[in-house]
Amino acid sequence: MNFYKKEKFEEAMVCLDEVLKLDPDDSELWDLKGIIFTLMDKYEEAVNSWGKALEVDPGDITALQMRSKFFNKLGKYQESLELSEEALKLDPKDYRTLSNKGYSFIGLKRFQESLDFFDKSIELKPDYFKAWCYKGMALGYLERHDEALKCFEKVVTLKPENAHGWSGKALTLEKLGKPEEALKCYKKSLELNPNSQFTKNAIEHILSMKS
């Protein structure tokens, strides 16, 4: 897999396809193909590869976890939820899968239910910043902004280079009527992710309110 390590993804795919012709029942090869597709930003192809892995081995936990994760990214929240439930039967203490299941509930607008899974994830891995970030999102949707702010503060403490944490904190500060503090956080978020149109618009909105 030298091609894979050197990020020559197209060449890696050619090699994988040749091997899969010889051994199409190797679920680990289908798993690897899915991972390479994600590195190429081809999420639909990735979930299809993990689907192939699960046809070969329905208990392939890597395929269950990864397919669930990327179904969320594709906005297929119910499909993701069902897969994460299967994965948790095999490993009920996987903090990433618990957090991913919570995110599926956010996508399905079942915000209160999502909190239980973020809390379980955090209990198992207190420094898992994604669970804190998603919990902050859910609390925001529930208009529990003081609690959401504490979550986003935790995110930027654990992962100060995470733009989503700073923008989440900024949005929450706006909701709490603290535009000056929000502006500072939005600017920090934009430093980390200069292409975020959401953050640019938010900064322009606060500045327009000041003028």
Assigned domain for 82 exists = yes
Assigned domain for 64 exists = yes
Closest CA relative to residue 157, chosen from 197, 196, 126: 126
For position 7, what pLDDT does the model report?
63
pTM metric for this prediction: 0.88
Longest dimension (CA), the chain: 68
Question: Measured between alpha carbons, how far is residue 14 from residues 1, 49, 115, 201 in Å?
Answer: 11, 14, 43, 43
Would you say 151 and 132 are in contact if contact means Cβ atoms under 8 Å apart? Answer: yes
pLDDT in tens, 73-88: 999 999 999 999 999 9
Assigned domain for 57 exists = yes
Assigned domain for 148 exists = no
Assigned domain for 86 exists = yes
**Is the dihedral angle over the CA atoms 131, 133, 139, 145 positive or is it negative?**
positive
For position 13, what pLDDT does the model report?
83
Assigned domain for 34 exists = yes
Question: Measured between alpha carbons, how far is residue 149 from residues 97, 135, 146 in Å?
Answer: 24, 10, 5
Say how many domains are in the chain.
1
Structural domain harbouring 40: 7-92
Assigned domain for 27 exists = yes
What's the CATH number where 14 sits?
1.25.40.10
Q: Mention every residue, 6+ apart, whose C-beta is less than 8 A from residue 37.
A: 43, 45, 46, 49
Assigned domain for 20 exists = yes
Instruction: With a cut of 60, say whether residue 114 has pLDDT above it.
Output: yes
For position 211, what pLDDT does the model report?
67
Would you say 83 and 71 are in contact if contact means Cβ atoms under 8 Å apart? Answer: yes
